Amino acid sequence: MRKTALSEEILLQVEKPARYIGNEVNSVVKNREDVAVRFAMCFPDVYEIGMSHLGIQILYSMFNSWEDVWCERVYSPWTDLDRIMREQDIPLFGLESQEPVKEMDFLGITLQYEMCYTNILQILELSQIPLQATERGEDMPVVIGGGPCTYNPEPIADFFDLFYIGEGETQYRRLLDWYVENRKQGGTRQEFLRGAAQIPGIYVPQFYEELYHEDGTISGRRKLYEELPDRVRKEIVTDVSDTYYPLKPVVPFIKVTQDRVVLEIQRGCIRGCRFCQAGQIYRPVRERDAEVLKKYAVEMLANTGHEEISLSSLSSSDYSRLDELLEFLIEECGRKHINISLPSLRIDAFSLDVMSKVQDVKKSSLTFAPEAGSQRLRDVINKGLTEEVILKGSALAFEGGWTRVKLYFMLGLPTETEEDIRGIGELSNKIAATFFETVPKDRRVNGKVQIVTSTSFFIPKPFTPFQWASMCTKEEFLEKAYQTKKGIMEQLNQKSIKYNWHEADVSVLEGVFARGDRRIAKVILEAYRRGCLFDSWSEYFKNDVWLQCFEDCGVDIGFYTTRERADDEIFPWDFIDCGITRQFLLKEWKKAQEGVVSPNCQTQCQGCGAGTFQCGICPTAS
Amino acid sequence: MKIRIKFSKYGTMKYIGHLDMMRFFQKAIRRAGIDVRYSEGFSPHQIMSFAAPLGVGMESCGEYMDIEVLSMTTAQEMKEALNRVMVEGVEILSVSILPDHVQNAMASVAAASYLLQKKEGDYPVDELTGKLEAFLAQETIPYTKETKKGVKELNLKEGIYELEAESNRAIRMLVNASSSGNIKPGMVMDAFSAFAGVEIPPSAYRIIKLETYMDPAANGKDRQGSHKLIPLDAVQ
């Protein structure tokens, strides 16, 4: 019978014990004697969030498809169990074997958002693994980081032995083979790390030192060994139709955020919005074959019993065979009573037709992400959505019976003026007006339209044209939110518009981490020591503690957020080669300041550099 | 066609709550390829009802649920198909086709039997089992039930049909489990420990539901007199 790492007394005392027992359908249990490598794969947040992540499921199924590897899952224990584990000195464990993480060979941690950084320390500490990579003994697991935040790993570099830059499908086999080989030869941990540094996509931070100018900016990097690469190039899968895919994903017992089959239809995005990191680092666009996807859908639904399926990509409307794929899914899922959850599609006659087939029009809402209130600012950020398109789409939708519209904007974008902010209220108002013009009184369901306008705060991210941009202070953000609210209140249809805005504190902190360097690590460690954890959960976010830690550590927040950066400043992440050239990003940054748009990858290649991967949409591929 | 499914729930599955068990079975029924009937509307759901929710922490070898199917081969094949898609800790024990006139599982429940096994610990359960008879012989068995609305005074006497020591390590009981007079085994143990003057914490014993019963003669009402109880899947 299955054992549990936690006693019955503990399991009956904590909230949702199902987070910690494993045993889910399609979870993989192997015989520990039969495997050469044990890999703990961690998402450093609570189970329900971590279980919803496709990337982990892909790697979990890839690792476990290899006979000599056993991959298990690890998530952050919630605060109730965290306290008990510390009190009773219980080591963190893998869900499948229920055995301590510290007994395994690797601990892989996916870094999906900056606000999980204190949770990394929680995972390490509860696992009883030293927090600093250089303090880990020979018998400790190799701690490896992956995911989007590794495109600037420097703020957390001290805590990791390795970072894997790019898509995991390509080099893990080689890394694990080298690990086994080194162990056979009686090699040390250091020898393993030196060999690993030679593998494409692998970065070993402790072999490099960050050097600074007197003004605090980076002057360069020093490497410990001659043979180390100066730059680490991201890894990508060139043929996404012929690679690993989790056809038997783990099915959780408890309801999780993404409780459905997820079909990843493509990677990358043709759009090139200048604020968007994903749009740059995942280039080039690579579509997955529609026939392959249809087969996956049928198999995954049969293997999981999920009652819902959704498509995943950065911009599903750009997938060339979307109509064919959706037609198949509507037919297949209709017969099997499976719901289709549509990603945000560009609103046009086609998508409205599809939406009306799969959702209850009266209950669902339309989503537009204009991101900026005026055409001028939308040109600056290269968001190719015009007011005309939004109003036309809304009119079509209102005729079709929809009455709810969600609008997403960003505040604090480069060059933003008060007029741009007023534009948010004006556009919201025009959409409401379109409803009253389009739908005659006697046909109005509930008699009204509901516009929900939300703003988030702009955070400059590495490897985007805005990596040079100055970020606003908290006070500036709040002033902008106030102006937005005031602008909406002045509108004729203000009663139809609801306004939501994000917290400014956490955005400022995210801004520090996003473009931070190695000097940030001590602040993260200090904040964790003072009780910061689950910072992405607003009820646990302790802004005052964070601010005190920055002050006590002598780290100036403004240096990382509001400071203007010179064109030739060396950034902490410059040693990473994500395919996109700095020259291209700088050109885009200049164009942004002039308000000049760039055509998308489909229309005309902009020579960003991703063509060197020789795959996907890039003209050099053919 | 109405189908009654009997299953067990044990081991780590005791930490899975009632609503999650329903979700588990909805997915399992789809994995097993059973031609289950769905409700109408934009978000159709399977026609499914459980006899009685089992509390988190309890195990059972007598759980029941009813579903409706549009087509099927044999009950045996459905049982095998379901068992192929189960996890460790849930086993399908029987699948029976119900006559149309039969009430659903939830409405049918009259009683349930439980086994309470002593776990490791230094409380004097061994000598206590000797006091069971005297406990049951009381005129009334008072129990104070705390609900969200306040406290309620109950008399458990009429709802405890059988109570005996199985060995000096286990107690077996048969109690009212109908919707109107449901008695949880923990309530009996609380009343008993008060009677015996000894503190017995809920963590001191493991609870296993042995069987869920219906009373064919009572027609959904509380059990009167000495009607014969039959397991929910013994319905004809």
pLDDT score of B125 more than 80: no
Mean pLDDT of B152-165: 91
Tell whether the model's pLDDT for residue A505 goes beyond 60: yes
Give helix A349-358 / helix A387-399 axis angle, nearest 10°.
Answer: 40
DSSP A55-98: HHHHHHHHHHHSTTEEEEEEEPPPHHHHHHHHHHTPPPB-TTT-
Which of B15, B28, B44 faces A17 most closely, judged by CB atoms?
B15
Residue B236 has a pLDDT of 67
- Encode pLDDT of B22-40 as tens digits: 999 999 999 999 999 999 8
Average pLDDT over residues A26-39: 97
Q: How confident is the model at residue A576 (pLDDT cuts 50, 70, 90)?
A: very high
Residues of chain B that touch chain A, judged by Cβ-Cβ distance less than 8 Å: 11-13, 15-17, 20, 23-24, 26-31, 33, 38, 42-44, 56-57, 85, 87-89, 203
CA distance B158 to chain A (A): 31
CB pair distance less than 8 Å for A303 and B31 = yes
What's the rounded Cα separation, in Å, for the pair B136 and A530? 56
CA B180/CA B201 separation, integer angstroms: 27
- CA nearest neighbour of B11 among B60, B62, B50, B55: B60
Q: If you count them, how many residues does chain A have?
A: 622
pLDDT tens per residue across span A68-124 = 999 999 999 999 999 999 999 999 999 999 999 999 999 999 999 999 999 999 999
* Spatial separation of the C-alpha atoms in residues A199 and A209, rounded to whole Å: 20
Determine the average pLDDT of the residues in A481-488. 97
**pLDDT class of B223 with cuts at 50, 70, 90:** low
pLDDT higher than threshold 90 for residue A540 = yes
Q: What pLDDT does A200 receive? A: 98
Q: What is the CA radius of gyration of chain B?
A: 19
Could you tell me the fold of the domain covering A360-515+561-574? Transcription Regulator spoIIAA (3.30.750)
Of the partner residues A4, A21, A337, the one whose CB lies closest to the CB of residue B38: A337
As a whole number, mean pLDDT of residues A316-331 equals 95
Say yes or no for a CB contact (<8 Å) between A255 and B24. no
What is the least distance, in Å, from the CA of A16 to any CA of chain B?
Answer: 8
Q: Spell out which residues of chain A touch residue B29, defining contact as CB-CB under 8 Å.
A: 305
Cβ neighbours of B16 in A, within 8 Å: 18, 253-254
- Both tokens assigned to B28: 């399992």
Among all residues of chain A, which has the CA nearest to that of B43? A339
Average pLDDT over residues A483-487: 97
CATH number of A241-359+582-622: 3.30.750.210
Residue A500 has pLDDT above 80, yes or no: yes
- What is the predicted pLDDT for the residue at A510? 97
Residue with tokens 């955005």: A507
What is the CATH number assigned to the segment(s) B2-102? 3.30.70.580
Shortest alpha-carbon distance between residue B82 and chain A (Å): 12
Per DSSP (E only), the strands in A318-422 are: 339-341, 366-371, 404-411
Domain range summary for chain B, segments of one domain joined by +? 2-102, 107-234
Averaged pLDDT of chain A: 96
- The answer, yes or no, to whether residue B140 has pLDDT greater than 60, is yes
pLDDT at B7: 98
> Could you tell me if A349 lies within 8 Å of chain B, comparing CB atoms?
no
Average pLDDT, chain B: 89
Dihedral sign, Cα of residue A244, residue A245, residue A247, residue A250: positive
Residue B56 confidence (pLDDT) above 90: yes
Q: CB count, 10 Å around CB of B218? A: 16
Q: What is the pLDDT of residue B130?
A: 79
Within 8 A of B12 by CB-CB distance, chain A residues are 2, 4, 21-23
Contacts of B218 (CB under 8 A, 6+ apart): B110, B224, B227
Instruction: Please tell me the least confidently modeled range out of A165-174, A543-552, B112-121.
Output: B112-121
Q: If pLDDT is split at 50, 70 and 90, which confidence band does A193 have?
A: very high
> Rounded mean pLDDT of A407-433?
97
Closest by Cα among A475, A473, A479 to A560: A473
Instruction: Report the SS3 class of residue A85.
Output: helix
Residues B187-214 have pLDDT tens digits of: 999 999 889 888 888 888 899 999 999 9
Q: Which chain B residues are Cβ-neighbours of A307 within 8 angstroms?
A: 26-27, 30
Please list, in sequence order, all residues whose beta carbon lies within 8 angstroms of the beta carbon of residue A296, skipping any fewer than 6 positions away: A245, A247, A263
Q: Running DSSP on this structure, what letter comes out for residue B102? A: P
Between B126 and B48, residue with greater pLDDT = B48
- Best B30, B84, B205, B206 member to test A by mutation, with max A CBs in 10 Å, is B30
B225: pLDDT confidence band, cut at 50, 70 and 90? Answer: low
Which pLDDT belongs to residue B193? 87
ω into A440 cis (within 30 of 0): no
Q: Is the Cβ of A260 closer than 8 Å to some Cβ of chain B?
A: no
Residue % of chain A over a pLDDT of 90: 91
Q: Which chain A residue has the Cα nearest residue B37?
A: A337
Domain map (residue ranges) of chain A: 8-233, 241-359+582-622, 360-515+561-574
